[in-house]
Amino acid sequence: MASITKKPNGTYLVRISAGKNDFGKPVTVSKTFTPSKQTLSYASLQKELNLFIDNLQVQLLSGEIAPTSGGKIVPKSPGKTLFSDFCEKFLEIKKGDLAPGTLAFYRQIINTHLIPIYGKMHLDEFRVRHVQDYIQFVMSKGKQDLHHPGEPMAAATVKRYATVFRSILSLAYKMEYIDIDISASRRLIFPKNDRKEVEVYSTEEVAQILAGLEEEPINIRTLIEIALFTGCRRGEVVGLKWSDIDFDTHRLSVRRSIYKPKDGKAFEKPPKTRNSMRDMAIPQRLIDTLTAYRAHQDKVAEVMGDGWNPEGWIFTELDGHVMNPQTPTKQFDHFLKRHGIRHLKFHGLRHTSATMLLANGCDIKTVSARLGHADLDTTNIYVHALSETDKSAADTFDRIYSNMQSK
C-alpha cells in the first residue's frame, strides 16, 4: 500500500512497503514524484501517480532500488508469494485504473471464486491448466439467479469472469513475480460466442408508447423520448445537462454518464468508450418536448429558490441534484404497466431506436455512430432483430390477404 505526502514545492513523497528487516520491523522505499508540466487536472495527476507507484514497485521487486531506511529486507522469492496475498496488492494497484463498479466485480470474483480455490497456492505454481480449469468451473456453474436457474452461462460472461483471473496473473508477470505470462497463452479454450439476441418493440408498439406518452407528465415523456429517439444508454440519459442540447441546430451531445454502485453514491464518469463521446441530430418532436420540460423545470427552480441545485441537470431529484441512474428503469416499468404495453428493459429503448433506424434505411455506420459503438460488429447484433421485424411485416400481409379471402 502506498503512502503519498504532498510537499510545499508541488512534488510528492511516495512511500511503499518493502517487507520487514531481520528484526521483523516494517521497512519502506521512498521516492519523490514530480508531476509533468502537462498535468493540468486531478484525473491526469492521479494517473501519473499510479504509474509512478507501479514502476516503483517493479523496481523494488527487481532489485533496482533498495529500502531507504529500516535495514535489510528479509529475503523472499517473489514467486513464493501466496496468491491470496498478491490479490490484495492487485486490487490496491488497480484501484486507480478501474471504475468502482468494475473494481467491485473484480473483488467479488476474487473473494468468492479465486481465493477459496487458489488462495493457498504460490504464484510460481500456476500453469495454463489452472486458468483452463477455472473457465470450466465457471461454465459448469451456470446461471445462479432465480429467473434462469441451471441455464448455461453466456460465453461473454464466462470470458468476463476469466478476465479477472488472467488480469491478476498478467500483473504478476509484469511485476516479475512469475517468469511466464500465463494469461496470454493461446492454448486457453473459451466457449464459442453466443449469438446475441435483442428484444425490440415493433412499429405498432412504438406507436403505443408515443401515444401513451401524450398522457404522461412532461418529465416522464422527456425521459422516454430521449432514450427512444437517441438510443442513449441509461447512464448517458441521466448524465445529460441543458448545456448538451443545442436548440438552434437540433443537436444533442453526450459528454458524461452517471453511475451508481450498489450501496454507494451516484457519480459522474466519462461515457463507456471513446466513441461514446458523440453528437447527434434530434427530431423536432424531441426539441418541442425538451422546450416544454425546460419551462416546467424553470418554474420548479424558481419556487425552490436557494434550495435548487443550479448545476443544470436535465433529469433531477426534487432539489435539482442529478437523478439516481436506477430511477429511469422504475419509471419506465410503471409507464408500461399503466398503458398495458409489453415489458422490455429500459435498455430495450436503445435496441428499438437502432432497429427502427436500420429498418427505415439509415446506414449501419450512421447508426453505430449515434449509439457510440466502438466498432460496426457491435451494431451488427441488430441485423437479426431487423430480420424478425421484416418477417413480422410479411406476416402482416398474410393476415390482410387472409381477411380479404374470408370476405
Residues 31 and 166 in one domain: no
Overall average pLDDT of the 282-300 stretch: 96
Residue 185 sits in which domain range? Answer: 97-194
Residues 180 and 210 in one domain: no
Give the three cell numbers for residue 358: 436500420
Residue 103 is assigned to a structural domain of this protein: yes
Residues 173 and 53 in one domain: no
Q: Is 164's pLDDT higher than 90?
A: yes
State phi, psi for 177 to the nearest 5 degrees. -75, -35
pLDDT in tens, 349-392: 999 998 888 888 888 888 888 998 876 666 666 665 565 555 55
- Report CA torsion sign: 296, 300, 302, 306: negative
Predicted confidence band of residue 237 (pLDDT cuts 50, 70, 90): very high
169, 126 Cβ separation under 8 angstroms: yes
pLDDT of residue 101: 79
Residues 244 and 392 in one domain: yes
Residue 16 bridge partners (DSSP): 2, 29
pLDDT of residue 71: 42
Q: What are the angstrom distances between the C-alpha of 260 and each of 95, 144, 254, 319, 352?
A: 17, 24, 18, 18, 25
Domain end point (choices 12, 43, 75): 75
pLDDT of residue 361: 83
Lowest mean pLDDT among 70-74, 123-127, 128-132, 251-255: 70-74
pLDDT of residue 153: 79
Predicted confidence band of residue 36 (pLDDT cuts 50, 70, 90): confident
pLDDT of residue 74: 40
- Report CA torsion sign: 310, 316, 319, 322: negative
Q: How many CB atoms lie within 10 A of CB 382?
A: 26
The percentage of residues in the chain with a pLDDT greater than 90, rounded to a whole number, is 46
pLDDT of residue 143: 60
3-state secondary structure of 12: strand
Overall average pLDDT of the 306-332 stretch: 95
Q: What are the angstrom distances between the C-alpha of 176 and each of 121, 147, 180, 275?
A: 17, 44, 9, 35
212, 340 Cβ separation under 8 angstroms: no
CA separation for the pair 44, 335 (Å, rounded): 42
Q: Is 28's pLDDT higher than 80?
A: no
The total number of structural domains in the chain stands at 3
CA separation for the pair 182, 170 (Å, rounded): 7
Q: How many CB atoms lie within 10 A of CB 131?
A: 18
- Report CA torsion sign: 348, 293, 220, 266: positive
Q: Is 145's pLDDT higher than 50?
A: no
pLDDT of residue 102: 85
Residue 86 is assigned to a structural domain of this protein: no
CA separation for the pair 232, 188 (Å, rounded): 36
Residues 179 and 324 in one domain: no
The whole-chain average pLDDT of the chain stands at 83
Residue 85 is assigned to a structural domain of this protein: no
Residue 87 is assigned to a structural domain of this protein: no
CA separation for the pair 375, 63 (Å, rounded): 43
Give the three cell numbers for residue 213: 406518452
Residue 83 is assigned to a structural domain of this protein: no
CA separation for the pair 98, 102 (Å, rounded): 6
Give the three cell numbers for residue 43: 484525473
pLDDT of residue 95: 85
Lowest mean pLDDT among 190-204, 209-223, 238-252, 392-406: 392-406
Higher-pLDDT residue of 1 and 69 is: 1
pLDDT of residue 194: 61
Q: Is 166's pLDDT higher than 70?
A: yes
- For 115-173, give the DSSP string: HHHHTTSBGGG--HHHHHHHHHHHHHH---SSSSTTPPPPHHHHHHHHHHHHHHHHHHH
Q: Is 72's pLDDT higher than 50?
A: no
Distance of CA 345 to the CA centre of its chain: 17
Residue 310 is assigned to a structural domain of this protein: yes
pLDDT of residue 150: 58
The DSSP symbol for 24 reads: S
244, 233 Cβ separation under 8 angstroms: no
Among 130, 155, 152, residue whose Cα is nearest residue 143: 152
pLDDT of residue 188: 85
Q: Is 63's pLDDT higher than 70?
A: no
pLDDT of residue 350: 93
Residues 327 and 266 in one domain: yes
Higher-pLDDT residue of 218 and 400 is: 218
pLDDT of residue 199: 86
Residue 134 is assigned to a structural domain of this protein: yes
Beta strands in 215-357 (DSSP E): 245-246, 251-254, 257-259, 267-269, 278-281
Q: How many CB atoms lie within 10 A of CB 295?
A: 10
pLDDT of residue 339: 97
Domain end point (choices 144, 165, 194): 194
Residues 218 and 313 in one domain: yes
